[in-house]
Structure 1
């Protein structure tokens, strides 16, 4: 009988202790604040934040530059065609120079080579085109690097946090779920932040590449039209 009473008292004491750790019904639970989580992420959040700012700055700078280069140049081609057909090459060169666009610089180089073989003119236009494309692609690769490095920093922060948690457990012998989860959810913020920055950077990287590809296709089309225009008198 005494043993039964002792077991009963032990069960009651255990249940009471567990109940004390549970939130009381209706008691407000502390909400997670985004800013607080970022601050608790630790030192790894600093390079992740730098990568995020760097990626956004490059993206917007390249976005507006590429969009400017992709503007419609049909009027330029029309004016150049009219000047060539009238035999006024100097006017065509001036029009291309004043356009201040990748296509204008390509056509200007071609116009300055008129009188040489078509292959030489094509080569000159192609070389200028490569330089213009290289200018458009400037720093886009950095966004690709951000997309790859940011998640790695996030995982590094999480792993470092887990190591710290288990180190503390080894020193205090406190292996309660609260001790583990309380520190782990904070450290996983770095992984979430790194993945978010990486995903956004990856999207931005591909958007810029698609824009550059469209500009390249347009430049090639206009260059072919220009070469055909030069070959017309000789046909």
Structure 2
């Protein structure tokens, strides 16, 4: 009973910070990857949220102004709306009078640029989701090697405490790497889904605008 209480007290004294410090030098790249992953996720999330704030009646206003022949007001409305959808429409409006094919190409080119901006650094987040667990496993392997070296150098009977402490310290890097990798993976997939939703809206807007140009103006 006394041994059990003493064991529980010793476990309670081990904080998360102490566990991370016991992980060894391999914890340094894992922590750095965690910081980079959090930065990328927050920065991309804020940008995607801002890019998605196109007013619901934006297309209706553009349609009304273009059909009335008020191209200047339609273009000014696009400039006042700082979103990828508005920039695509603004480019199309600026090309009114050209061949329809040229207008479509101009809108498509702007769309590609906007998609590149939205997807920037997402590949880095995907890389972190795979690299962090691998670094964690590497830290575990090196930690286990050091633990067995210490056991080999121990004279006489090997202390269970020496063996268990070396193993749990080595496993800390695996746990930390998996933690960072899983969160980075979830964050990556969430951002990709948000970008895909926005890209679909951009494509719909582009198609709707090209159809609008083929309607007779008032």
Using the size of structure 2 for normalisation, the TM-score is 0.92
Alignment counterpart, residue 200 of structure 1, candidates 166, 172, 183:
183
After superposition, what is the alpha-carbon deviation per residue over 1:151-184, rounded to whole angstroms, capped at 9, x for unaligned?
A: 1111111111111111112222453433212210
| Worse-matched range after superposition: 174-183 or 135-144 | 174-183
Distance 2:183 2:55 in 1: 32
Counterpart position of 1:57: 39
Structure 2 unmatched ranges of 5 or more: none
Q: For the structure 1 residues 196 and 25, does the alpha-carbon distance in structure 2 shift closer, same or farther, using more than 3 Å as the test?
A: closer
**Contact residue 54 and residue 85 of structure 2 kept, 8 A:** no
1:66 to 36, 48, 70: 48
Q: CA deviation at 1:25?
A: 5.3
The 2-side partners of 1:25 and 1:152 are apart by 36
Map residues 97-116 of structure 1 onto 2, 5 A cutoff: 97-116=79-98
Task: State the SS of the aligned residue for 2:96.
Answer: coil
Q: Which has the larger radius of gyration?
A: 1
Figure out how many residues of one structure are paired with residues of the other and give that number: 213
Give the secondary-structure state (helix, strand or coil) at the position aligned to 1:233. coil
Cα deviation for residue 72 of structure 1 reads: 3.9
Question: Is the 2:51–2:82 Cα contact (8 Å) retained in structure 1?
Answer: no
Task: Report which stretch shifted further, 123-132 or 31-40.
Answer: 31-40
1:136 alignment partner in structure 2: 118
How far did residue 74 of structure 1 move? 2.6
Residue 24 of structure 1 corresponds to: 3
Q: How does 1:158-169 map to 2 (within 5 A)?
A: 158-169=140-151
Q: Normalising by structure 1, what TM-score?
A: 0.86
Structure with more relative contact order (C-alpha pairs < 8 Å, separation 6 or more):
2
